[in-house]
Structure formats: C-alpha cells, structure tokens
Amino acid sequence: MECKLLHCDRRVGSKGARGLCPRHYQYWLRTGTPTKRCATCDRPIDRAVYCDDDCKPRCEVEGCIEPIRKTGWCASHYAQQQKTGQLPTPFAYKWGSDDVGYSAIHMRLRQRGPASDHACAHGCGRGADEWAYDHSCPNERQSDEGPFSTDLARYMPLCHSCHKLFDLHGLVPLGVSQ
C-alpha cells in the first residue's frame, strides 16, 4: 500500500502509520502535519522552505528584485561578496542612470513584470512572450545586439512571431504610430 499523500509513491510502513510512509509519519510526529508547507503561500511542499522562486523573499540589496539564495542575497550579490570580500553593492541596471547598455535595459524591463502577463500589442490574439522596443525614441541608441532606448515606456509586449516580424520587416503593431 502506498502513502496516502497524493504526491508520494513510497510504501506505507509495516505498522500502517496512519496510512503514511515512514518519512511522512515521522514528520507528522514531529510537527503535527504530514507535509512541509511553503513559508509564504502555505502550499504543501516536499523539500526546502518555499514552493518556487516566486514565493522566496527578495534580495536585501536595494533595488534588486531577484529571489534570495544565501545570506539574504541573490546568487549574483552573494557571488560578488565571495569574490570581493565586501558587502554587495547595487548593480548599475537597478538604478535610473541612462549610461547603460542593451543588456541593462532588458534587466530593467524585468522589473515591469513578465511580458507574458499581457496580450500581444499587435492584436494577433496570442499572449505576449517578450518586451519589444517600438523604435520611436528620438534618442535611440545602437549596440551590437540592436537598437534600444533607455525609456522603458517605449517597449511593448509582443508574442515571439510579431516581435520577429516587427524587428525584421518594420511591421507596425496596431495602436502604435510612427
């Protein structure tokens, strides 16, 4: 007979143990519940403290939105501390400076949230996959990766297909004037 918990396929112990496998039975004896629960959303979990990265607290470095990994810092800030031996400092892309490159702007866009939370601005009926630069900035910058703007308002949510068509062929999404 298997453990009565849905996500567990271990066999129940020899004494029956309330229909639980030995691992879940021992955990029940210690805590009063057969499974661990996420510290943030209280969903049942099998390991760790949080069910996924969305439930983890954010890095303690000002402006950083990454989930913590160790000592209250994200993986990047933890590595920075290990390498330099000094307290982590904010990365340039976390701040408002316009003296940044293509990659830093895309890191800033992550703070707006995922493009997938929006419908494609082209009106194709699909959900968006990516933030796309609309090429309307009078102060457009060039990089090896392509043109970009430091003005985050000039980025729109597009599905992958529309983003590709827009960048390669200049097809203007609905609702965007040039």
Domain extents for the chain? 1-49, 57-90, 93-169
What single-letter DSSP state applies at residue 59?
P
- Tell me which H or E stretch contains 130: strand 130-133
pTM of the shown model: 0.45
> 101-157: per-residue pLDDT in tens?
787 787 788 777 888 888 998 888 899 998 888 888 898 888 888 888 888 889 999
pLDDT of residue 81: 84
> 57-88: per-residue pLDDT in tens?
888 887 777 888 778 888 888 888 888 888 77
94 confidence band (pLDDT: 50, 70, 90): very low
- Tell me which H or E stretch contains 157: strand 155-158
- Taking the CB of residue 34, how many other CB atoms lie within 10 A of it? 22
